[in-house]
Amino acid sequence: MPNLWTYEQKFDGLSDGDLNGQDSWSGSTNFQVGAYGAPYEGTKDVLGNKASVIQRAVILVPYGTVYISFYTANGRLDGCMMSLQEGSTDKCRLYFDSTIIIRDPTTWHSIGAWAADTWYRIGFAFDFTAGGWEGLSQGYYKANVNGGAWSTAYQFENPGGSGISNFYIAIYEDAGGVYYWYFDYISPNYSEAGPPPSAGHRFFQMF
């Protein structure tokens, strides 16, 4: 079975500044494309902050695998969530809490530890069909971190549906201050660019 996820974005070819309005991304103008320190891949990544949301529709994907990389220098124990959605309905949802966690219909499950100043490449494999993509049953997904072992397979957070059609990322903020997160290299492939760069100084842009 071929991987049906086809959307790829390395952000290197986009203009510096707002991601909103580029490559069909829509949402807050607090997501900025630029050369912020050491991107996961290439020369640019995306910086987001200030309790912001951005999303991009994709052609409906009934099964497949997709990867995305995240980074923060804050050392905060939470602050970033992403979801693979059908329309606006969460199907495969991940959150950076005290550990990296994913959601089934009732429960959050830890899939690995994380720390500041390190890139984490997150993989999702999902199947809405009865075809058994990556050994999954219909209506289930699994995730991995930095190319490690796949997690246990869990039912979609909201069962049913036909496929993934939206990529959704949210940055959170509380009374403690503003928290910066970066993301880079959305792809059906784990890596075409070698291992993640070592952590280094990050260049913040205040919005």
Evaluate whether residue 129 is within a structural domain.
Answer: yes
Region 99-110 average pLDDT: 97
pLDDT for res 87: 98
Q: Is the pLDDT of residue 193 over 60?
A: no
Region 113-138 average pLDDT: 94
CATH number at residue 127: 2.60.120.200
Q: Which of the pair, 2 or 131, is modelled with greater confidence?
A: 2
pLDDT for res 117: 87
Q: Could you tell me what percent of the chain has a pLDDT over 90?
A: 73
Q: Is the pLDDT of residue 206 over 70?
A: no
Residue 162 to residue 172: CA distance in whole angstroms: 29
Evaluate whether residue 63 is within a structural domain.
Answer: yes
Domain extent for 110: 50-187
Q: Residues 64, 123: contact at Cβ < 8 Å? A: no
Coil, strand, or helix at residue 134?
A: helix
Residue 31's φ and ψ, nearest 5 degrees, are: -105, 120
Q: Report the range of poorest mean pLDDT among 72-76, 182-186, 195-199.
A: 195-199
Residue 118 to residue 131: CA distance in whole angstroms: 36
Q: Is the pLDDT of residue 179 over 80?
A: no
DSSP one-letter code for 135: G
Instruction: Domain count for the chain, please give it.
Output: 1
Residue 38 to residue 73: CA distance in whole angstroms: 12
Evaluate whether residue 30 is within a structural domain.
Answer: no
> pLDDT tens for residues 52-68?
899 999 999 999 999 99
Q: Are strands 181-187 and 140-145 parallel, antiparallel or unpaired?
A: unpaired
Q: Is the pLDDT of residue 35 over 80?
A: yes
User: Model confidence at 78, in pLDDT bands (50, 70, 90)?
Assistant: low
Evaluate whether residue 81 is within a structural domain.
Answer: yes
Q: Residues 150, 86: contact at Cβ < 8 Å? A: no
Evaluate whether residue 199 is within a structural domain.
Answer: no
Evaluate whether residue 207 is within a structural domain.
Answer: no
pLDDT averaged over the chain?
A: 90
Cβ partners under 8 Å of residue 2, min gap 6: none
Which pTM was predicted?
A: 0.91
Evaluate whether residue 115 is within a structural domain.
Answer: yes
What amino acid is encoded at 153 in this protein? A
Evaluate whether residue 93 is within a structural domain.
Answer: yes
Q: Could you tell me what percent of the chain has a pLDDT over 70?
A: 87
pLDDT for res 201: 45
